[in-house]
Every structure is written in C-alpha cells, then in structure tokens.
Amino acid sequence: MIPRYSRPEMTAIWSPETRFRIWFEIEAHATTALAEIGVVPKEAAETVWEKGRDAVFDVARIDEIERVTKHDVIAFLTHLAEIVGPEARFVHQGMTSSDVLDTCLNVQLVRAADLLIADIDGLLGALKRRAFEHKLTPTIGRSHGIHAEPVTFGLKLAQAFAEFTRARARLVAAREEVATCAISGAVGTFANIDPRVEEYVAEKMGLTPEPVSTQVIPRDRHAMFFAVLGVVASSIERLAIEVRHLQRTEVLEAEEYFSEGQKGSSAMPHKRNPVLTENLTGLARMVRSYALPAMENVALWHERDISHSSVERMIGPDATITLDFALARLTGVIDKLLVYPEQMQRNLDRLGGLVHSQRVLLALTQAGVSREDAYRLVQRNAMPVWRGEGDFLTLLQADREVTAALKPEAIAECFDLGYHLKHVDTIFRRVFGASE
Amino acid sequence: MIPRYSRPEMTAIWSPETRFRIWFEIEAHATTALAEIGVVPKEAAETVWEKGRDAVFDVARIDEIERVTKHDVIAFLTHLAEIVGPEARFVHQGMTSSDVLDTCLNVQLVRAADLLIADIDGLLGALKRRAFEHKLTPTIGRSHGIHAEPVTFGLKLAQAFAEFTRARARLVAAREEVATCAISGAVGTFANIDPRVEEYVAEKMGLTPEPVSTQVIPRDRHAMFFAVLGVVASSIERLAIEVRHLQRTEVLEAEEYFSEGQKGSSAMPHKRNPVLTENLTGLARMVRSYALPAMENVALWHERDISHSSVERMIGPDATITLDFALARLTGVIDKLLVYPEQMQRNLDRLGGLVHSQRVLLALTQAGVSREDAYRLVQRNAMPVWRGEGDFLTLLQADREVTAALKPEAIAECFDLGYHLKHVDTIFRRVFGASE
Amino acid sequence: MIPRYSRPEMTAIWSPETRFRIWFEIEAHATTALAEIGVVPKEAAETVWEKGRDAVFDVARIDEIERVTKHDVIAFLTHLAEIVGPEARFVHQGMTSSDVLDTCLNVQLVRAADLLIADIDGLLGALKRRAFEHKLTPTIGRSHGIHAEPVTFGLKLAQAFAEFTRARARLVAAREEVATCAISGAVGTFANIDPRVEEYVAEKMGLTPEPVSTQVIPRDRHAMFFAVLGVVASSIERLAIEVRHLQRTEVLEAEEYFSEGQKGSSAMPHKRNPVLTENLTGLARMVRSYALPAMENVALWHERDISHSSVERMIGPDATITLDFALARLTGVIDKLLVYPEQMQRNLDRLGGLVHSQRVLLALTQAGVSREDAYRLVQRNAMPVWRGEGDFLTLLQADREVTAALKPEAIAECFDLGYHLKHVDTIFRRVFGASE
Amino acid sequence: MIPRYSRPEMTAIWSPETRFRIWFEIEAHATTALAEIGVVPKEAAETVWEKGRDAVFDVARIDEIERVTKHDVIAFLTHLAEIVGPEARFVHQGMTSSDVLDTCLNVQLVRAADLLIADIDGLLGALKRRAFEHKLTPTIGRSHGIHAEPVTFGLKLAQAFAEFTRARARLVAAREEVATCAISGAVGTFANIDPRVEEYVAEKMGLTPEPVSTQVIPRDRHAMFFAVLGVVASSIERLAIEVRHLQRTEVLEAEEYFSEGQKGSSAMPHKRNPVLTENLTGLARMVRSYALPAMENVALWHERDISHSSVERMIGPDATITLDFALARLTGVIDKLLVYPEQMQRNLDRLGGLVHSQRVLLALTQAGVSREDAYRLVQRNAMPVWRGEGDFLTLLQADREVTAALKPEAIAECFDLGYHLKHVDTIFRRVFGASE
C-alpha cells in the first residue's frame, strides 16, 4: 500500500482497528447466538456486547501479546478478556480462528467491493456526461493507429461507458462470490458449534452461510474476486491509453487537465504530459498481477493450509486500494478532460479524403464493378494521396475507369461526413437506454 | 495444442474447416439480411446459400491465396467467389474483416463454453455419486497437513461438488460475456451497413448484438472469459492435489485407478504413481497462465489494433482444449478412484486420540476451567502422545488437575467419533439440496 | 505451436523424430559407457550403435505401444528392442526414464538457445546497419508521447542494439543454465549406475553433469530459462511498439515494408497497417506468460513429481518457436523498414522551436537568473506556442525580462540542432565499440 | 510492504530518508563533476557538499512542496535550495529528473541485491551445516509422493545447497544488470550535460555508465532483475514445500522448531503446524507475481513514458523486502529444523522391502532374464507387498521363476541399504567441493 496511490475510505477497511472491530462483532454475534441456543449464559453475551461495543481495541497491546503467542486471534481474545472480564471465557466457544479470520476477510472484501462499485458509478456518470457533450463531435476513427473512417468523440466515450457497465456487473458478481460466512469449526463439521450460530452471524454481518467450509472458506471465491479486479484494471488501462494517444504532440485531440502550479518537466517547462493516465497504465499492471497469486491460493492442502494468508495480507489491501485509487483518478481525468474539437477536425481532414475510400469501394461495387477491380481502382488512387501527391476526390474524378462506373457527382456524394454519423443515435440508445 | 491433451470435439471447434464454415454462415446470413432490406438482390443471397451450404471450403486453396494477399478474410472471400460465382460480389457488402473474425471467435468460444459446461456436469455427476457413497466414511481432517479432527470422505467430495457448482455458474456467466456479435463496419459506426444486418446475424448465430463495437468486439469480454477458465483450472488443481496427497505412500487413503497394462515406473515396478492428477496440476498452471495475455489484450489502441489476434490464435484453442481435457480426466479420476476406508480408519487412530483434544478443551471450559488453564492442561497431556509416549485418554484420566474438573467418564465421552459427524446431513442438504 | 508463427528449423527440434533420435543417442552413449566400465558386453553396445545409428524410429509404432504401457520411455525401449534385437536388454541398465527425458529436454533447449542466439545475431546485424545509416538523421525525441528534444533515428536503433546485446548475453547465460545432463537413477543416488556413465554421456551430448539430481534435473534451471525468454520477448515488444508509433498516420516517420500483393484492409484499400509489429506485440505477451508456469514448476514434491511435464510439453516448443519466429520477423521489419527523414524533420519543426526550451532555461540560469524565475520565464513564453499562438524564438526575443538576461543573439544560439547531436559519436562508440 | 514480513535493513533502503540522501549524493557528485569541467563554480559544488553532507532532508516539507508542484524532484530541489542557499541554482544543471530517479533506483536495487546475496550466504551456511550433519542419515526418496529408493537427508539438503548456489549466481548477475547510472539529460543525448559528469557520478555511486539511455535507463534490466527474484522465490517454495511434506502427521520426519510460548491452534492444542514454511509458500507466490508487471514495464513509449514508475514504487520495495524476509525465515527454519532419523528409518521400512525392487529387476536382467519378464516377475511379487500381504524378500525367495535365475542369497544381497549410499561422497564432492 503506497500512500500516494491510496484513498482514506478504502485504506480504513484494511486498518487493524477495522479488523479488530469486525472480529469483535463476529465473536459477539456468535456469543449471542450461542446464548440463544443455550450453550452459554445470556448474561455472558450481554456482558460481551456491553463491554465491547464501544471499546477501543489496543492494537499495540494485541501485537505485544501476539509476539508471545505467535497467534493473532488468541492475542485478540486475550486482549478481549482484559476488556470483558471473566465472561470472555464464553466467547469463541467451539470456534476456530479461521471462523473469525475468513468471515472478517469476506466482510472487508464486500465493503471494498461496495466502494469499488460506487467508484464505477462515479466514472459512469462522468463518461455519460462527456459522451453526450461530444455525441456529435466528429473525430477520426483509427485502426492500427492509422486513420480509418470518421466516428465521434462521444462514441469513444460511449464505448468506455458500455465497458465500465460490464465492469460494474462483474464487480457485483464478484461481491456476491465473497459474501459468505463460515462459523463451522476446526474442519468445517460443526462438531463443536451448532450451524445455527453460523446462520445467525452470517445474517448479522450481511453475508450468507458458506455451504461447506473446511476450516476455511474455499479460495476459488477469492480467486474469482481478484481476477475480476484484474479485468476491471485492464479496462482502466484501455481508456488510459486512449487518452495518452490523444494527448500525443502530433495528435493533441485531448489533454489531461493541467493545474496552474503543476510542472510538467524539470527540464522542459513547456511540456504537458499525460502523467495521470501513464500512471494508470502502471497501476493496471499491478492490479492485474495480483490475479495470479490469488489463483495459486485455491489449491490449499486437504482441509486447509495457511499459504494463502500472506498473499491475502498483501493483495487484499493492495489490489482494492490501488483499484479504488485508479478508478477515482480515471474519473477525474474524464471529468476534466480538455477536448479539442478543432484539432479533431484538422486531423480528420489530414488524409485528403482517404477516409472515404471504403464508401467509394462500395459505390463501385454497387455500380457493377467486381470487388477485385473496385479494390484495385480505389487503391491506385489512394496511394498517391497517401504519399501526399494530390486529393482523393480529384484523382478519382479524373480516373476514366472509375468514371466509367460512377459519375463525378456520384463520387462526390461519397465524401459526406454525415453519412458516417447517421447511426450514432442507434448506438447511444443501445448503450445509454431509450430514455436518454 | 498437444494431441495427448486434446479431445476431438473441442479440437474440432478450432479446425480451419469449422472456422471457414462459421465464416460462411456469418457472410451468408448477412447477405440474406442485406437482401431483405433491399441492399443486394434476393437472388444473390439465395445463390450464396445454394452454392455454399454444402460446399467444402478448401483450406489449402485458401492458404495459397492468403500467401499472396496476406489477408485471411480476403483469401476466404476470393475462394468463396470461386464457389459461388459472380453473385459473390454481393457478399461482405459494407462489412469489415473483423465483423467476420470477431463474430466467428465468439461463436467458437460459446461452443467451447457449452462443452466445458457439459464437462463440469459430468464431473459433478461423478462427485455426487462418490460423495453419497462415502457420505459417512470417516477420515481424518487435516489442516497444515497435520491431523485435526474427523471428517468424512464424502464431505471432501461435497466440498469439491460445491466448488465445481460455482465453477459451472462462472462458466455460464463467461459464456454470456462472449455471446455477442458485431457487424458494424470499419470503426463500428454502421456507416456502410445497416444495424439490422447485425441484429439478424446475431439472432441466427445464437448471439446478441454488441451494443457498441469499434471494428472489434471489446476484449474485456474475452479477458473475463479466460480469467474464468483460469479460476476453474485452479479448482481442478485443488482436487488433483487432494488426490495426490491421499495417494502418498504414508497416507494411501485413495488411489487413482491403475489399469492392468500400465507401468508405473521403468525402474521400480511396484510403484503406483498419481500421474493423472500430477498431470492435472501442470495443466492447471497452463490454463491459469493464459489469463494474463488475455487481460493484456484489452487495451487495444484507439478503435482497434491487431495485437490481440496472435494471442487468441494461441490461447483460444489452447485454453479451451486443455481445460476440456483436464475436466474429463478429472472426472475419470473421481469416477474410478480407489478408496480405502480401512486405511482412513487406521490413519484416524494414529494419533492416540489427540484428534479429540478440542472437545476435551471445550469440556474443561464448560466445567469452569479458564480458557488459558484448559489450554495448558490439554497441551501438557497432548505433547507426550505426540511423541508416541502414551494414549491421550489414559493420560488425561491420570491427570489430577483434569479430573478435578471432569470425571473420567466425562473425559471418555469426549472420545466419540459420532460427535463429529452429526451435522454431515446438514451440510449435504446445503450442497446437494433437500431432495437428496 | 501455430504453423503461421513457426519456422521449420526450430519446429524440427521439437518433432517426435528428433526426440527419439536424441533418446537413442543418450541410451546408446550410456550403453557404450556401461560397456567401457564392464557392466555390459562391448558387443552389446556396438550392436546398439550399428542397428540404431541409421534406424528410423517409427513414431506411430511407439505411440501404439505407449497406448498400452502408458509410459513413453518404455514404449520407445520396446520399439528399440524390435530394431536392435536381444542386445537391447543391455540398454537403459540402471537408468530411469527421467535420465533420458530430462537430458533430452536439455539437449533440445540448448539447441533452441543456439537458434535464438543466432536469431539475435541476425537482428543485431540489421539494427547496426540501419543505425549507422541513420546515425545523424534528426528526429524528435519524445517523452510521455510529447515532443522533448531532438535525437537521431540512429540513436533509437543504437538503443535497441544495446538492448538486444543484453538479450544475447542473457540467452547465453540461459543456455548455460540448462546445459546439464543427469544419468543418476531413480532418486539420483547412482545406486544402480556409475557416475562415470553420466560424465561420458554429458560430454558426448555437449552438456555438463548435473551436480546433484533427484531423478530429475532441478527445475529452477528451466524457470530461469523461460524467464529469460520472457524478458527477451519484452524487448521485442518495446521495439515493435516504437515502430507502431512511428507508423501512426499523424507521425508517419517510418513504415513496415509493404509488399505489392498485400492488402491492408478489406474495407479501406488505402490503409497500410503496422500488422507485423502489432503481431509481435501479441506474441511477446504469449512468450512472457510462459515464465509463470515455468516458475511454478520449480517446487516439485520431494525428489520429483511429474507436474512439470505437461507444462514443458507445451511451453518447451511454444516459447522457443514463438520467440524464434518473433525475432526473425522483427529482423525483417528492421531490415526493410521504410524510413522517412523528411517527415521526421517536419515533425521536429512542428512545435515552433519549443524543443529548445530546456536550452533556453539553462542559458538563463547560467546568466544568473534563479532556477525558479528561469522556469517561469520559459513557461510563460512556451504556453502560447503550445497553443499555436506564435513562434518560441520570436516570443522570447520580445520578452523584456528574458532579454534583460540574454541578448537576442544569445537566445537565437539556443536554437541550434547540431547542439543536440554533438555526443552521438560518443554514444555510438559506447554501443558499437571503438572500431566502428 | 507488510511490517510482519519486513526486516529493518532492507526496509531502510526504501525509506524516503534514504531516497533523498541518495538523490543528494547524485546531485552533489554531479555538481562536483560540473565544477571540474568548468561549467559551474567550484565554490558552488563545495557549498553544496558542505551544507548538504550532514543535512537532514525534511520529508514532510518535501511532500508539502510536491503537493503544489506535483513533481517530486523539483520539490526536493526546492527544499535543497532552502538548505544550500543561492548556490543551489548550480545543482541539477543540464540534468533531467530521471537522471536522479533512475540512478537512485539502481543504487537502491544494488544495495537490495547485496542484502539478498548476504541472505543467501546465510542460508547456504545453514544448509551446508545440516547437510553434513545428515550426510548419511538414511531416508526414503520419493517420486510422485510414493516411496522410491533410499537417499539420505543430507542429500536433500545438498540439493538445496546446489540450488541456492545457483540462486546466488543469478542474484550476482541481476545485480550487475541494474548497476548502471544515467546522467544524460532529457532524451539521453547529453545535449546539456557532458558525458564526463555521468562517468564521474557512476564511479562515485559504484555503478557503470549506461551505454545509451533515453531519459530513462532501459527497463529490460529491471525486468531481468525482478524475474530473477521470482526464480529465487520459486526455489524457496520448493524447500518450504519439502519441509511441509516432512512435517505431515503421517510422515513426521522433520519439524519446524516450535518455541515454548507458541500456540499451534486456538482449538487444537496438540497441533504443531508448519506455519513458517506455509507462509514461505505464499510469499513465494507474491515475489513471483512481481516479475510480470516488471516485464510489462519494458515497452515504454518512444524515449520514455512514466508508466513504469507506479509499478516500481510498489514492486521495488515489495519484492526485495519480501524476498529478504523469506530468505531469512527459511534460514531460520533450516537452522533449527528438528530432524527425526528414527522416524525416517521407520518410514523406510514401511514398504516391506519394496524399495529394493529395482535392484532385483537389474539382478534378474543381468542373470539373463529379459527386461519384460524381469519386470513381470518383480511386479507380481511387489503387488501383494503393496497390499500389505507379505514381505518382498520372502515372496521373491519363494517364487520359483525368480529363483530359477537368482539364488536366494543373491536375492538377499539386493536388500542392502549401503548399496544406495555408496556415491553420497561423490555427490557431496560435486556440490561442496573437494576440500570438504
């Protein structure tokens, strides 16, 4: 966790304070459930809540105990006993550490997912606003980095909106994957604890009971969770790279917002670099990389081993904090993106009309020229334009083999920008819904 | 694609013959749609279907053309023209290669997903059968590779059943992710083709229209698809490693089926090695590794670049063929697994009753001993047993501090296996449903 | 292995024919060594060589036997006995399958490394030739995609030359890593075979004896090998992406060679797309991805398990064939790259002199202006130029605060391209050596 | 960076204090070099050293400035000016931020490599000591988890020693890869700074000049560095998994040291879990995963983009700190490992002599029985033993087809443990050298 790539709300989920608070809630709810089914005295449960509800768990003290016991949950329980008093012996009855640890981790991941979903909602809002703002701002569409045919800048953002709508759905599914609770004992058999305790705690913590746990909650759930984060990060990378391309000196169709005090380069004061989106590209690499150890965590030995734990201590915070930061940063970039429609038009005009070549090709075919011949005719007129030797329309109108099939006016009609934008409405309706 | 790790049905999805057949269907359906909206003559569409429906596309001939044109779809269309005749000029009108390529890839991935889902159904069947067969076969549960408390072998398989039920749901979602069609032209604007063509082709090919494509179908969909395959492979690894552990010489609670002609080792004829599950461990590593390049594929430049293509030519077949093979192999392993209940019992008895230590701990606590003291009492009697110096029950019954809290009979009651199995029904009901 | 991304020489290394030929050589050399130390009759060894030296091993026959025995080496030995006759019983004495398999794999990897090193030599040749050709071709250097200061195109290629010189050294080291031989028996103790056999076979096969093997050659060696391939692939990606950027419509400083028959786009005949380098980008992703399963292969259980085998059957050929193809393709791209110096000059001139801003900054500082003030002065004159509102030199010369420190002529002197190229020689000498 | 998986010396390398100290040294040495070649006044350089040598750089103050400038090096230089006074304007002359940042990163990586190499030396020491201690402690060698033939526990450790000797050599090479310095200006042309400054700073910082940099030091170097860390981590995983296997309840041939206060399980007080090595398994997954983003960092755009930076801010500390911790932890595990030779012997005896089957097979072959027949004879006597129905020697001596070839005494001779250990000396000599 790097402070500069962290935001406080997500970071707080992973603080020791939050963790011990969740542990307390799990233990206290379990004690209540145990009391309800008569295993421990009701007063014990009440005392636990009374003394613990507003207690501040002393992280340093717990660490101190752990240094002796080398066991974090026992250290916590020992400290809890210091707070609660003798009734503490009724806490954790029949439970195993993983009941607390795994349920806690899932509570944290669910809360993290909630923040990430809210982040995406923010990003979707920015994307939608800018997409409608530039719904009909023409710009060149590029494949292979080469000018292809006109699109609009709004379409580019509509694509991103659609992609992050999918990202949102994936995060919702990922949240569901990890929203389970296990209070099932040392090997998941409920030998020493009634399954009703698990049901009770699950409900109180906003989770569902894990159908079958084996001391631990199965890690395929977490692997899926982190894999989704990696895919979402990859979508961030896509949009970040789009902005980086648009900000290139030679393209300059858009720029990241550049604040007054900001310095682009210690050596070259004129430079305005897309540093936010470059940064996002790197952060995406990191979030993606966490998917792999999460998948390797699945194959625990027998009922469990603890190899997953060190991995999760690292990627639990790192992946969610980084993705949260990246989504927020991307939202800011989109929200404040400087867009230059005139430069978009200038680039559009750059290729002397070549962007209309496919339409000419089609017109020729429809006028009865074979596909092969049409291709040849278009290409022989396109090549000089490409080399900067003339204008595509003029050349075509001067090519007798072309004019034998298409009159000059018919050729000119192929050079109409509006032609390319006639279905923008259709696409926007698909992406944003009919009501927009 | 390695023949030894391939099954014919999945392999066939990725053959050139299948690919060209799907290309034909996409092109022919598109021509029909174009005819219906009056862009091309109805007779042209009919001719295409008539001549192409039962045609055999000559892979070698197409390859030959491609060597000149260096463009696979143009090569195919040229060959199609050889089959269909002059009406072929109405094929592919207003379309771009990616319309064909991307829609075809998704058809292939959808078919692959269908096979994988069927594979999982087979595996679930085997797991369920064996789980009920061994529902009450006691075996030791292990955490950290160390004996913990008793479980049943059926519970282990129930866990796997639950895990692969999740894997199935993930595959269904992954299938949905890639079940889209794009016939939207060079940059996705439908400039030269009516969106109704896309809708028509989508329906005919069992897909839904991609809301917004940009020559290509966005690759976050495919990244998600391959990430899911990686997670499923990780679950395969988990079960494979369980079998490998059980087959260890010192454990030997189960074994892969060993056919008569099979030789375990060229040097040591007595050896019966878990080679199938070791093989599955390796295959899982491969399927998992494909998730990464699939995620890197997301960030194509602008409306598209073609960097994803070489990756998909490799991982499309490799990931699906390998996973299909692995699921089938795992199904065979589970189906024919040799299970040794007596050996399970022998291992259970191995620790001189130590597996009941937690129950003793609880009984002591409930009898009023503090958690700390109870822990100390149990541990001091457990350690000699661990060193092979005596039997846990006997030692406890001889420990005065213990008997001060619990009578010898009360201690003996803690040593009851049934106690651990009382909730197996509950868990099975959760996993397999009430009707079972 | 995808035919379109394969070259015959590398592919041949991984054919069954080559594999069985290497197996034969290992077995036959071992038999000779056994004869020399008196374990088997000399005549037996001679017969093996006599009958086997020019034998064609029947792959189909071996596969047939393997279907029964489910063991590849036993299948081969059975077939060898069919060729050699009764003396075959002296073959493989005291050896274990892995002695043959692992030594064979290393022979294959060493041969693959030799081809890759030769590939790099070819690439280095092309890079050097083009680097000297464009040693003084000025072009704009870009950081963050934004114009920075002038460089030369030759410097870009010199950088690549230096990078692939490192790649070469890494491949040489990787070759060394896997150039070992193990003939040490079932668990590596030489219980049934004399270490002298290993030494003899190692020498004959161009390897060194593995100091301590455990049935298998340790897989950290192979992990390192494939990790190096991943790093080399990443360098390919870097150069490929450079070309893709240079070929962008707006930049167009260089282009992949475009053959006559080639068609860029089925829809847009004018397009000349950097498809080779885009393809290399994708191939790099694949080669990189193989490093992970290779690293997961290291932790085999105890003396060995066979989980590495399926991974190596896949990545052995896939990684080396793909990298060989990619290096050759990149060599072709560089060798025939179309370079456009005029367009480079045009782009250089594009920013109205802003590329000289750092030099102005320095001149101001050296004239006694504080760094902070100098930065402010440069930036306030740079910003209008950036917005297209004037020429940097003119603006500076009109800024009284600037001219208070620097005379107009002194400012003009900062705008000299030669200034930036004065150390090109130094750098070339560092990269290509003094003799150039 | 997780405190619980960190050690102070490595952590200190990555502290802001260390970073600013290194920045100062680079800047100050560069100023000295600039003074020597007459670009800045000698007094300026002296003042910089005088004021800065013992200065404490105020991290909070620098952060505060960075919040305005959004540029870390400018923030540092501003703070440096606060310390040094007006002479500070001669600092950083002609340099670019990356000159400082990249050189600093390499200094940090070199220092980290030095610590890691020292860690490995510690580990090698522990391995060697324990290897010689158990040079002749017999234990069963296992392939596929199944008993194979006898080895010694010392051989297992000798293998690890050899593997970490390779790891050491790889780290030395990796250190070399990143031990370079760049002070070459905005695009690496030395336009504004003399190459002699780079040479001077390189020497003072213990580095060599980067032959050709492009504002940045090329990232293939760092990719190689982190790839090596991933391979070393994989070797750690191998040894960790060996210990985990040996500590399994059914095997129990060795155990991690278990301190007095330590509690194995909150529920099961008797348990002694291999938690350190399980933890190492997870940490290895993490270190391995960092290799991927490091490789993705190689393909920066043109002369540089800054996408690598966020990755390196994370993996720089995380990979080195985690690996340092893991190596130290593994050293402790090996150093204090509890080894149980009696239990090793007990396991060795477990298979009723089957471990000698290969030797019987060989003896039969040497007595003239065909390989196929010998295999059949051995297997038919091995199978009952495997099922626990008898002792291998007795059965063989009662098999007439066997005794037709080998006399009972000759069979008995095959059952000699010493036979398997006769080359232990040879292997130790190979691994540890002749002098041992």
| pLDDT at residue D269 greater than cutoff 80 | no
CB contact under 8 Å between D282 and A293, yes or no, is yes
Residue D366: predicted pLDDT: 84
Please, which chains are in contact with D (at least 3 CB pairs closer than 8 A)? A, B, C
A138-143 and A146-152 strand pairing = antiparallel
Residue A350: predicted pLDDT: 83
| pLDDT at residue B263 greater than cutoff 70 | no
pTM for the structure as a whole: 0.95
- pLDDT bin (cut points 50, 70, 90) of residue A362 is confident
| pLDDT at residue C38 greater than cutoff 90 | yes
Compute the nearest-CA separation of C151 from chain D (Å).
7
Q: Give the phi and the psi of residue A95 in degrees, each rounded to 5.
A: -95, 165
In this predicted model, what pLDDT tens digit does every residue of C43-94 receive, in sequence order? 999 999 999 999 999 999 999 999 888 788 999 999 999 999 999 989 998 8
In this predicted model, what pLDDT tens digit does every residue of D367-394 receive, in sequence order? 989 888 998 899 889 888 877 788 899 9
- pLDDT bin (cut points 50, 70, 90) of residue A371 is confident
Residue B67: predicted pLDDT: 87
Residue A224: predicted pLDDT: 98
CB contact under 8 Å between D267 and A97, yes or no, is yes
| pLDDT at residue D114 greater than cutoff 90 | yes
Q: Give the phi and the psi of residue C216 in degrees, each rounded to 5.
A: -110, 160
- Contact criterion met (CB below 8 Å) for A309 and C418: no
Residue B375: predicted pLDDT: 86
In this predicted model, what pLDDT tens digit does every residue of B203-227 receive, in sequence order? 999 999 999 999 999 999 999 999 9
Contacts of B72 in chain C (CB under 8 A): none
CA angle D310, D311, D314 (to 5 degrees): 90
Compute the nearest-CA separation of A215 from chain C (Å).
25
Which one is catalytic: C144, C259, C270, C302? C144
Once rounded to an integer, what is the mean pLDDT over residues A9-37? 97
| pLDDT at residue A24 greater than cutoff 90 | yes
- pLDDT bin (cut points 50, 70, 90) of residue D270 is low
- Contact criterion met (CB below 8 Å) for B295 and A231: yes
| pLDDT at residue A264 greater than cutoff 90 | no
Q: Residue D267's closest chain A neighbor by CA?
A: A96
Contacts of D422 in chain C (CB under 8 A): 190-191
Which one is catalytic: C15, C265, C310, C370? C265
Residue A243: predicted pLDDT: 98
In this predicted model, what pLDDT tens digit does every residue of B275-314 receive, in sequence order? 999 999 999 999 999 999 999 999 999 999 999 999 999 9
Partner residues linked to C142 by β-bridges: C147
Count CB neighbours of D98 within 10 A: 30
- Contact criterion met (CB below 8 Å) for D135 and D152: yes
Label each residue of A320-344 as H, E or C.
HHHHHHHHHHHHHHHHHCEECHHHH
Which structure tokens are listed for A324? Answer: 């949260």
CB contact under 8 Å between D186 and C431, yes or no, is no
Of the candidates C291, C319, A220, C1, which has an alpha carbon nearest to the alpha carbon of residue B321? C1
Contacts of A4 in chain D (CB under 8 A): 313
Please, which chains are in contact with B (at least 3 CB pairs closer than 8 A)? A, C, D
Once rounded to an integer, what is the mean pLDDT over residues C387-410? 91
As a whole number of angstroms, the distance between CA D344 and CA D254 comes to 9
Which one is catalytic: D143, D144, D266, D302? D144
Suggest the residue from B146, B248, B253 to mutate for an interface test with chain D (most D CBs closer than 10 A). Answer: B146
Once rounded to an integer, what is the mean pLDDT over residues B63-89? 91
CB contact under 8 Å between C143 and A265, yes or no, is yes
In this predicted model, what pLDDT tens digit does every residue of D157-213 receive, in sequence order? 999 999 999 999 999 999 999 999 999 998 999 998 999 999 999 999 999 999 999
| CB contacts < 8 A (A, D) | 159
Contacts of C272 in chain A (CB under 8 A): 146, 386
In this predicted model, what pLDDT tens digit does every residue of D42-55 receive, in sequence order? 999 999 999 999 99
Residue D189: predicted pLDDT: 96
Compute the nearest-CA separation of A250 from chain C (Å).
6
- pLDDT bin (cut points 50, 70, 90) of residue C372 is confident
Stronger pLDDT, C263 or B116, i.e. the higher one? B116
In this predicted model, what pLDDT tens digit does every residue of A139-164 receive, in sequence order? 999 999 999 999 999 999 999 999 99
- Contact criterion met (CB below 8 Å) for A78 and A64: no
| pLDDT at residue C209 greater than cutoff 80 | yes
**Residue D302 is among the residues annotated as catalytic for this protein:** no
In this predicted model, what pLDDT tens digit does every residue of A75-115 receive, in sequence order? 999 999 999 999 998 999 889 999 999 999 999 999 999 99
Kindly list the structural domains of chain A, giving each domain's residue range(s) and its CATH number in brackets, ordered by start.
1-93 (1.10.275.10), 94-350+418-436 (1.20.200.10), 354-414 (1.10.40.30)
Of the candidates B107, B92, B95, which has an alpha carbon nearest to the alpha carbon of residue B28? B92
Partner residues linked to D180 by β-bridges: D208
Of the candidates B101, B292, B325, which has an alpha carbon nearest to the alpha carbon of residue B213? B101
Residue A134: predicted pLDDT: 98
| pLDDT at residue D325 greater than cutoff 80 | yes
Give pairs for C370-375: CB < 8 Å, separation 24+.
C370/D86, C370/D89, C371/D77, C371/D81, C371/D88, C371/D89, C371/D92, C372/D78, C375/A263, C375/A269
Contacts of B179 in chain A (CB under 8 A): none
Of the candidates D335, D225, D239, which has an alpha carbon nearest to the alpha carbon of residue D281? D239
Looking up tokens 């970073």, which residue turns up? D19
Q: What ipTM goes with this model? A: 0.94
Q: Residue C356's closest chain A neighbor by CA?
A: A268
Residue D137: predicted pLDDT: 97
Once rounded to an integer, what is the mean pLDDT over residues B29-37? 97
In DSSP notation, D287-314 reads HHHTHHHHHHTS--STTB-SHHHHHHHH
Q: Give how far the C-alpha of residue A405 lies from the chain's centroid of Cα atoms, to the nearest Å.
A: 52
| pLDDT at residue C153 greater than cutoff 90 | yes
Q: Residue A41's closest chain B neighbor by CA?
A: B366
Average pLDDT, chain D: 93
Once rounded to an integer, what is the mean pLDDT over residues C207-219? 97
Q: Residue A97's closest chain D neighbor by CA?
A: D266
